Amino acid sequence: MGRPIAGSLGPVQGLSLAPARPLSPVRRRAPGASVNVVDVGRRFEGATGPVDAIAHVHLSVAPGEFCVIVGPSGCGKTTLLRIVAGLEAATSGRVDVSGDAGRPRNAMVFQGRSVFPWLTVRQNVGYGLKLRGVPRRERERRADALLATVGLARFARSYPHQLSEGMRQRVAIARALAVDPDLLLMDEPFGALDEQTRLLLQEELLRIWENTGTTVLFVTHSIDEAMVLADRIVVMGAQPGTVKAVLPVPFSRPRALTDVRSDAAFAPLFAQIWGMLREEVLASRADIRQVRA
Amino acid sequence: MTPASRRLVEIVLTIAAPLLLIASWEALSRSGTIDRRLWPPPSTLWGTTVELLRDGSLLTDVRVSLGRILVGFVLGAVPAIMFGLAMGLFWPVRAFLMPIATVIYAIPKIAIAPLVLIVFGTGETSKYVVVGLSIFFLVLLNTMAGVLAIDRSYRDVARNFGAGPLDLFLSVALPGALPSIFTGLRLGLGFALVVIVGTEFIDADQGIGRFIYQSYSILAINKMFVGLLVTGLMGWLLNAAIGVLERLVIPWKVAG
Ligand SMILES: Nc1ncnc2c1ncn2[C@@H]1O[C@H](COP(=O)(O)OP(=O)(O)OP(=O)(O)O)[C@@H](O)[C@H]1O
Ligand SMILES: [Mg+2]
């Protein structure tokens, strides 16, 4: 079931999908964190007065769950993730993240550019470990193991500018995984990638997640991507950003991308999510028209 | 045109320009078209150079000036980078120091030389201070601008991994600002040469500036030209050195 579908795609940019390869070196001892978002709001001071990026957001994510957020552009997905990550304070409500070791540890894969240009690929992946005081040899061992899982073993000594966009994104993912987070926050990690690389990385991520049991909160624009990856899909609406619906995804685990897409439940679920998003996008368009008039 | 033949033409053109200049200078001076006393033929400069090299005084002057530039450079650049990083990272520091920095930055540092000479005396200290000042503000503002230009996401990544202020300083602000810091250092070295020559005009018993000034005061035109040539070479050398240092320190900089 969970076997990679290398045959139909072929290797892309050095990412080999040989099924016999050992899986992720990250093996968890305990289930991931649980996330509880209670009535959270975030207000920004905009040019034309205060703007509520998100308001009254409720969301709970179970330990080890793969939760995907979809929503129109500007509905506050990044804002919500940053608040959960503790990078930004909510203006109302509260967020609880419980990990296994008292102090919850999350790692975020950011939207857009985030791999340090001044560090080699190996140093980038080991960065979080370095901040935690992990000795250098151990850091490099872990970094190299993770680079092998994301198919970048040959590029350990390269600098990011020598890699393609897709390869850099894999570095960012490996860097987040390196600290063995209880909670993995991913903000459109595959947004800037070509279709083939995207498919391969989705598969890679599922495999890693299935092996680590970490909780994942994943943001995407792509309905298809959400359905392939998620246990549950959170559909957000805009102005202000709120949770419109939470939909369970019925496909069994472990998943193969092709099986999911040919499942009878795929098309109806797609239509249901698109229906909700369509309303949202049209509503925000109408808003823009009103502003212009 | 193939790349190879283009390269050949490029080399020929590069060498042709100075040769042409020197040849026409030589010809015009020998024929008396330009005043020989003011524009001695380049061929006679060679003899003067050899003479000056033999008695060792010229090299001593070069060494003294380069030493002043290097010491002043370190004295100016190190605190400039530290304060620049702080100004870039923390807005209160920026708000506090920015007005003073921009005003002093605008003063031509050679204009401060007389004051520095009065305050620090005529010894070496004043030379270091003048060079240090001329570099400090350039590097300070370039460092700050460099930090401010660092994409916010890099800071977020560091904070997400639990970076404290010191980690931010060392692992994000400093490396991220390095290209901009080097722009400041490169410009600063250029100014340092100007300023040290000027200061040595005013007061010094050694140095390339003093050499040129002394040649001027006894109207030794040949020696003056040699002094100018040597100063040009010093500038080139300093620039080349900072280039080498830059490539060592910023191996990740995208070429071009
Ligand atoms: N620092 C800020 N200052 C002011 N407004 C902000 C700030 N950050 C976000 N906003 C506003 O909050 C809203 C949500 O932004 P956010 O980046 O969370 O959206 P998003 O759902 O991630 O969008 P996208 O899908 O395009 O990435 C937007 O209207 C944006 O203008
Ligand atoms: Mg976003």
SS (H, E, C) chain A: CCCCCHHHHCCECCECCCCCCCCCCCCCCCCCCEEEEEEEEEEEEECCEEEEEEEEEEEEECCCCEEEEECCCCCCHHHHHHHHHCCCCCCEEEEEEECCCCCCCEEEECCCCCCCCCCCHHHHHHHHHHHCCCCHHHHHHHHHHHHHHCCCHHHCCCCHHHCCHHHHHHHHHHHHHHCCCCEEEEECCCCCCCHHHHHHHHHHHHHHHHHHCCEEEEEECCHHHHHHHCCEEEEEECCCEEEEEEEECCCCCCCCHHHHHCCCCHHHHHHHHHHHHHHHHHHHHHHHHHHHC
The pLDDT tens digits of the residues spanning B193-244 come to 999 999 999 887 889 999 999 999 998 888 899 999 999 999 999 999 999 9
* Length of chain A measured in residues: 293
CA distance A88 to chain B (A): 10
**Rounded-to-integer distance, Cα B70 and Cα B51, Å:** 27
- Whole-number pLDDT of residue A12: 40
**A273: number of Cβ within 10 Å:** 19
Residue range B63-255, CATH number:
1.10.3720.10
User: B180 with B148: CB under 8 angstroms?
Assistant: no
User: B95 with B39: CB under 8 angstroms?
Assistant: no
Nearest CA to ligand 1 atom 12: A53
Identify the residue among A118, A121, A161, A168 best suited for mutation to test binding to B, counting B beta carbons within 10 A and taking the highest. A118
Q: How far does CA B185 lie from the centroid of its chain?
A: 8
Query: For A129, which residue in chain B has the nearest alpha carbon?
Result: B161
Find the CB nearest B157 among A82, A114, A160: A114
pLDDT greater than 70 at residue A27? no
Q: Does B11 touch chain A (CB under 8 A)?
A: no
Ordered by start, the domain boundaries in chain A are 34-292
**Rounded-to-integer distance, Cα A212 and Cα A46, Å:** 41
> What is the rounded average pLDDT for all residues in chain B?
90
pLDDT greater than 80 at residue A31? no
- Whole-number pLDDT of residue B255: 55
pLDDT greater than 70 at residue A8? no
The pLDDT tens digits of the residues spanning A211-233 come to 888 899 999 989 999 999 999 99
Q: Does A179 touch chain B (CB under 8 A)?
A: yes
Using omega within 30 degrees of 0 as the cis cutoff, is the peptide bond preceding A135 cis? no
Q: Phi, psi (5° rounding) for residue B127? A: -65, -45
Find the CB nearest B160 among A107, A120, A159: A107
How far, in Å, from the CA of A190 to the mean position of ligand 1? 19
CB spacing of B157 vs A116 below 8 angstroms: yes
**Rounded-to-integer distance, Cα B169 and Cα A30, Å:** 34
Nearest CA to ligand 1 atom 22: A78
CB spacing of B159 vs A87 below 8 angstroms: yes
A241-264: average pLDDT: 86
The pLDDT tens digits of the residues spanning A46-81 come to 888 888 888 898 999 998 899 999 998 888 899 999
**Rounded-to-integer distance, Cα A208 and Cα A215, Å:** 12
CA distance B176 to chain A (A): 7
3-state secondary structure of B106: helix
CATH architecture, domain defined by A34-292: 3-Layer(aba) Sandwich (3.40)
Long-range contacts of B26-34 (CB under 8 A, 24+ apart): none
Query: For B251, which residue in chain A has the nearest alpha carbon?
Result: A118
More confident residue, B187 or B1: B187
Percent pLDDT > 70 in chain B is: 99
Ordered by start, the domain boundaries in chain B are 63-255
Question: Maximum CA pair distance of chain B?
Answer: 76
Place of tokens 């579908």: A5
The pLDDT tens digits of the residues spanning B120-163 come to 988 899 999 999 999 999 999 999 999 999 988 899 999 999 88
β-strands A66-70, A232-237: how paired?
Answer: parallel
The pLDDT tens digits of the residues spanning A97-127 come to 886 554 457 899 998 889 999 999 999 999 9
* Length of chain B measured in residues: 256
Q: Does B157 touch chain A (CB under 8 A)?
A: yes
**A117: number of Cβ within 10 Å:** 19
The pLDDT tens digits of the residues spanning A146-200 come to 898 888 999 999 999 999 888 898 999 999 989 888 899 999 998 878 888 888 8
Least confident of A21-35, A235-249, B58-72, B81-95: A21-35
β-strands A183-187, A215-220: how paired?
Answer: parallel
Q: Does A270 touch chain B (CB under 8 A)?
A: no
**B35: number of Cβ within 10 Å:** 11
- Whole-number pLDDT of residue A291: 55
Q: Per the structure block, which two tokens stand in for B209?
A: 């500036």
